[in-house]
Amino acid sequence: MNMSVNRAVAIAAGTDETELRSSYERAVSHGAANTLCTPEEESAHGTLRLLTLATLRLPDLYLYGYLLEAVDEDPSVEPVPPIVASRLGEIAAGALRLAHHALETHAHDLGYEPGVWVERALEQARASSCYAISSVRSDRWSTRHDGARSRSRARSRLPPPRRCSYPASSPTDWRVCSGST
């Protein structure tokens, strides 16, 4: 089965807290192969350097993500070779590892606990993936129908969404999640 960005988001949205935390830890661990630094060099870098190295990976992440997304959306195009999805995962893991170490370095320098921020990031990731899935499902469903029906009418025919258990940015801003997790 080919991996797509939408499939990856759907898988992430369907994970529980323990699975999400485990995936995060594995990505931080596996990201070592992509950082082009030894663990000693990573430890010696400051927060700004680590964030810079993580940011330098963003154009590659965008490119590989775009390739997977474009192919996923266009059935007339041949599937992208699995190496593209693999490469996307490697680059993402490297960026995540560097950003994680930047957080740890900053926390150490200023004397706060980084675990709280990691938990908040995981909550945000889960809420964002739930929201993305509900948006993709709504958009795809509404575009399958002729133009006579308005978008709002098409959405009103979808099954009622369920609420995610994670707040997006504040206690009053809840993301909507469709389907089962």
| Cα dihedral 151→152→156→160 (10° resolution) | 100
Structure tokens at 166: 């994670």
Domain spans of the chain, in order of start: 5-130
> Residue 12: its pLDDT value, please?
77
C-alpha–C-alpha distance, residues 10 and 15, integer Å: 9
pLDDT at 96: 93
Distance in angstroms (rounded) separating the CA atoms of residues 172 and 167: 8
Structure tokens given for 81: 């070779």
Q: What is the DSSP letter of 35?
A: S
118 in Cβ contact with 84 (< 8 Å): no
Q: How far is the C-alpha of 91 from the C-alpha of 65, rounded, in Å?
A: 11
Q: What are phi and psi of 74, to 5 degrees?
A: -120, 100
Residue 126: per-residue pLDDT = 80
CB 7 within 8 A of CB 80: no
State pLDDT tens for residues 36-64.
Answer: 888 899 989 999 999 999 999 999 999 98
What pLDDT score was predicted for residue 175?
Answer: 40
- CA atoms within 13 Å, Cβ hemisphere of 50: 23
Report pLDDT for 58.
94
Task: List residues bridging with 167 in a β-sheet.
Answer: 174
Neighbours of 49 (CB within 10 A): 16
Whole-prediction pTM: 0.68
Q: How many angstroms from the chain centroid is the CA of residue 64?
A: 14
Q: How far is CA 153 from CA 138, 143, 147, 148, in A?
A: 11, 12, 11, 10
pLDDT tens profile 74-122:
778 787 788 888 898 999 999 999 999 999 999 999 999 998 889 988 8
